[in-house]
Amino acid sequence: MLLFLHPDSTDQTGEAILSALREAGVEGRPITGHPRRVIRLRGAPPSLDWLRGLPGVMHVIPAQRPFHLALKETPEQKTTIRVADHTIGGAEPTLIAGPCAVEDGDELMTVAKSLKRSGAHLLRGGAYKPRSSPYDFQGLGRAGLEMLARAGRSVGLPVVTEAVDERSLDEVVEFAQVVQIGARNMQNYALLKRVGTCGLPVFLKRGLAATLEDFLLAAEYLLELGNNDVMLCERGIRTFSDHSRFTLDLAIVPRLQELSHLPVFVDPSHASGRRASVAALARAAIAAGANGVMIEVHPNPGHALCDGPQSLEPEAFDHLAEEIRLLATVRDGQLAEKG
Q: Which residue in 315, 191, 326, 204 sits closest to 267, CA to CA?
A: 204
298 scored as a contact of ligand PEP (CB under 6 A): no
- List the beta bridge partners of residue 57: 5
Q: Which residue in 275, 98, 110, 122 sits closest to 203, CA to CA?
A: 122
Segment interacting with ligand PEP (CB under 6 A) among 88-96, 170-178, 181-189, 222-230: 181-189
Segment interacting with ligand PEP (CB under 6 A) among 37-45, 106-114, 176-184, 221-229: 176-184
Distance of CA 206 to CAs 115, 150, 221, Å? 25, 29, 14
Dihedral pair phi/psi, residue 136, rounded to 5°: -80, 160
* Among the listed residues 54, 307, 312, 317, the single contact to Mn ion using CB under 5 A: 307
Look at the chain and count its residues: 339
Distance of CA 153 to CAs 98, 104, 182, 322, Å? 14, 16, 24, 24
Distance from chain centroid for Cα 121: 16
The size of the interface with ligand PEP (CB under 6 A), counted in residues, is: 10
Q: Which does 182 bind (CB under 5 to 8 A by kind): ligand PEP, Mn ion, none?
A: ligand PEP
* Among the listed residues 28, 126, 263, 292, the single contact to ligand PEP using CB under 6 A: 126
Contact 136, 100 (CB under 8 A): no
Residue 318 burial class via C-beta count within 10 angstroms: exposed 0-12, middle 13-18, buried 19 and up: middle
Element (H, E) at 148: helix 142-155
* Among the listed residues 59, 116, 270, 298, the single contact to ligand PEP using CB under 6 A: 270
**For the window 85-124, what string marks contact with Mn ion as x by the rule CB under 5 A?**
---------------x------------------------
CB of 144 to ligand PEP, least distance (A): 12
95 scored as a contact of ligand PEP (CB under 6 A): no
162 scored as a contact of Mn ion (CB under 5 A): no
Nearer to Mn ion, 28 or 139 (CB): 139
Gap between the Cα atoms of 21 and 285, Å rounded: 39
Nearer to Mn ion, 14 or 273 (CB): 273
205 scored as a contact of ligand PEP (CB under 6 A): yes
301 scored as a contact of ligand PEP (CB under 6 A): no
Question: Per 3-state DSSP, what percentage of the chain is helix, strand, and coil (rounded to 5)?
Answer: 40, 20, 40
Segment interacting with Mn ion (CB under 5 A) among 42-50, 86-94, 303-311, 324-332: 303-311
For binding to ligand PEP (CB under 6 A), which residues are involved? 100, 126, 130, 182-184, 205, 235, 267, 270
